[in-house]
Amino acid sequence: MELYANVLGEGKPFIILHGFLGMGDNWKTLGQQFSEIGYEVHLVDQRNHGRSFHDDNFSYEDMVNDLKHYLETNDLDDIVLLGHSMGGKTAMLFATQYPEMVNKLLVADISPRYYPIHHDTILNGLSSFDFAELKSRGAADKQLAQYVSDFGTRQFLLKNLYWKEKGQLALRMNLDVLKEHVAEVGESLPMHAKFEGNTLFLRGDKSEYIGHQDETIIKNHFPNSKIVTIANAGHWLHAENPEDFYDAVVSFLN
């Protein structure tokens, strides 16, 4: 089963993995910018997300296998690999298992440690959609607002809505499977997993995903890593401060 990806530009392969409930399309603007400086950017939809296939199995091991299959099928090697949140966990695990395929690793606002489940409210909100009744994005936003107060978060989630057919809205993600396996998203990197290559962790200064206690954990798994803090940004740091995010990534790549 093939992953869906939007490929921009040409040059050195640069793979971007989105976070939980996201899709490659969330990275289109930055992806375009990276493609303009000599990279072939692959905005990948991970399984059960975006336009990629739906499957009953959902774990980091599965997502790593999907990525390996995608790279081999497309004859990609010596890649730059960037992952945000859940995508960052996939990227970390991939790099520790297939270090020879990764030239540089970038991880956006996630640590290798375990995170407790914290997506319940969002999943309940998405589950509350009655597509027999919902006939517009505005109505969906109003419904979701009962669960998710933050406008930016709702806009991010509502990107998953599409017109399945005339007058019929649907969600691209495989919501049932993601709800069933939501605990998987918080899983930690295996204890002895290690990647010796060049690694950059980016964290938002308003986010609590990478705290001081994570710095030691990160060094244990990624001895050749550094952490850069992006100002005026929370967990969606690439969307909240794309200029500084872009500059930090490019300076690391150069």
Provide the annotated active-site residues.
85, 176, 235
- Alpha-carbon distances of 185 from 59, 63, 173, rounded to whole Å: 8, 11, 15
Q: Which residues pair with 198 in a beta bridge?
A: 104
> How buried is residue 211: exposed, middle or buried, by Cβ count under 10 Å (0-12/13-18/19+)?
exposed
Distances in Å between the Cα of 51 and the Cα atoms of 45, 59, 114, 161, 244 are: 6, 18, 28, 12, 29
Q: Is residue 16 classed as helix, strand or coil in its secondary structure?
A: strand
CB atoms within 10 A of CB 191: 9
Distance of alpha carbon 194 from alpha carbon 196, whole angstroms: 7
Map tokens 């244990």 to a residue: 220
Report the alpha-carbon distance of residue 228 to residue 225 in Å, rounded: 10
Q: Which residues contact 7 (CB under 8 A, 6 or more apart)?
A: 40, 41, 42, 43
Q: Are the CB atoms for 148 and 160 separated by under 8 Å?
A: no
Q: Where are the beta strands (DSSP E) in 93-132?
A: 102-108
